[in-house]
Amino acid sequence: MGKDVLTLIDQRTEISYEVPIQNGTIRAMDLRKIKTGPEDFGLMTYDPAFMNTASCRSAITFIDGDKGILRYRGYPIEQLAEQCSFLEVAYLVLNGELPTAAQLHDFVNHVTHHTMLHETTKKFLEGFRYNAHPMGMFISTVAALSTVYPEARHVHDPEVRKLEIYRLIGKVPTIAAYTYRHSLGYPYVYPDNDLSYTENFMNMLWKMVEPKYQANKVLARALDILFILHADHEQNCSANAMRAVGSSLADPFVATAAAAAALSGPLHGGANEEVLKMLEVIGTKENIPAYIQRVKAGEVKLMGFGHRIYKNYDPRARIIKWAADRVFEVTGRNKKLDMALELERIALEDEYFIKRKLYPNVDFYSGIIYQAMGFNPEIFTVLFAIPRTAGWLAQWQEMLEDPEQKIARPRQVYIGSGVRDVVAIDKRNGKNSTASG
């Protein structure tokens, strides 16, 4: 084994440089010294969509995309899903260690006592149009919490941060449930502190006139497992948004809203809703081969397939398939599952998908379970945002405590016009202002 050094020769100057290699990376700033002369800015890297750039050092989530491995703080996702509750995992993601019984009790107690929304926030939600998309309502209401808790801007104060973390984890299920009730025109249901995190969420979603809501334990546990699977996923689009917005020292409410906005896109958390729409478009199993042909022709994407990092089966999809069987024992089998299984079978045997290493991701099966549980597709991404709030906050906190991090501000390669003079408005030709001048 040689030295952990990369030797580069700049053919423009014939100068050779030594760049240290650490953790399989070189520091982009080490390239800045590579110049053609004193006036030269120095070499940069160009990496649209961050295909090969590490933006931080993180100790939260580990993914090996080739092997299909996902771990939070070193613990395999399979063990966490089987043995822990979502709030236990949220504590782990945020604090680095699994809680003791006393620490968990304390954490659950704090989160439970921050589930209520200020009445003015409830009124704020009432202002949305009757058919507003739940994700738009969710994003806006999370951002609006920033006006209720102005002290949240003291992001360098660990005690303030801790309080806002309790508030966010406590309130996101309430906001999510209210967006759902709003879309149905039902009155909002206040949180019930006797219930677990997911049971209380189900209570706020589905309680009608009964004095005390009784959640189905199997469904509550399945939802808890789904929350565990969605708690964090290292530097994805929304985590990156959280870190980027948080790096300007914006408060955690607006930063979380920005992260949720990133999540809402169909290429990210919006994919679970798109999977259901896609299955509806396909209609029957017989139509699957023709749909696969359209995918291969580049007309449509197979939603819920493919991942920037996983080039193997997404481990979360495997656990979701397992949870689906438990859910269907209670709800009856969702017919869409048979279509999804057939779609997966055909796709995994097809050269197009094999060559590109396209496998089902977490969104492929989650929507089918959610639908069986009684959720409308419009709320699926909100269901993703609830547990991911814990991950976003862990990423945000880690970023703030990292002495190497500063305001996130990428460079660009400028490809626009050189300097030119403004032409009077009556002399412009609308195409190239300099041409008529």
Ligand X SMILES: CC(C)(COP(=O)(O)OP(=O)(O)OC[C@H]1O[C@@H](n2cnc3c(N)ncnc32)[C@H](O)[C@@H]1OP(=O)(O)O)[C@@H](O)C(=O)NCCC(=O)NCCS
Chain positions contacting ligand X, by CB under 6 A: 267, 271, 295, 301-308, 356, 358, 361-363
Tell me the C-alpha to C-alpha distance, in Å, between residue 377 and each of 125, 158, 188, 275: 20, 38, 20, 9
Report the residue number, 71 or 294, with the smaller CB distance to ligand X: 294
Closest residue to ligand X, judged by C-beta, is 306
d(CA 195, CA 199): 6
Contact 305, 364 (CB under 8 A): yes
Separation of first and last alpha carbons in the chain: 64
Residue 307 catalytic? yes
Residue 232: closest CA among 76, 35, 389, 75: 389
Residue 180: closest CA among 116, 238, 246, 135: 135
The CB-of-238 to ligand X minimum distance in angstroms stands at: 11
Q: What's the chain's Rg over C-alpha atoms? A: 25
Backbone dihedral angles phi then psi of residue 308, each to the nearest 5 degrees: -60, -35
Catalytic-labelled residue, pool 363, 402, 421, 426: 363
The CB-of-274 to ligand X minimum distance in angstroms stands at: 7
Residue 47 catalytic? no
d(CA 414, CA 220): 52
Would you call 16 helix, strand, or coil by DSSP?
A: strand
Residue 149: closest CA among 171, 128, 123, 130: 171
Please count the helices (runs of H) and the strands (runs of E) in the chain.
17, 5
Report the residue number, 267 or 330, with the smaller CB distance to ligand X: 267
Residue 392: closest CA among 193, 186, 165: 165
Catalytic-labelled residue, pool 268, 325, 338, 350: 268
Q: Identify residue 280 by its one-letter amino acid code.
A: E
d(CA 42, CA 395): 31
d(CA 170, CA 191): 10
Which residues does residue 17 pair with via DSSP β-bridges, in sequence order? Answer: 8
What is the total residue count of the chain? 437
Catalytic-labelled residue, pool 133, 230, 233, 307: 307
Element holding 239 (H helix, E strand): helix 237-246
Contact 399, 240 (CB under 8 A): no
The CB-of-59 to ligand X minimum distance in angstroms stands at: 23
d(CA 2, CA 104): 47
Which runs of consecutive H residues, i.e. helices, occur in 374-423?
A: 380-401
Per-residue DSSP letter, 311:
S
Residue 432, both tokens: 């190239």
Active-site positions read 268, 307, 363
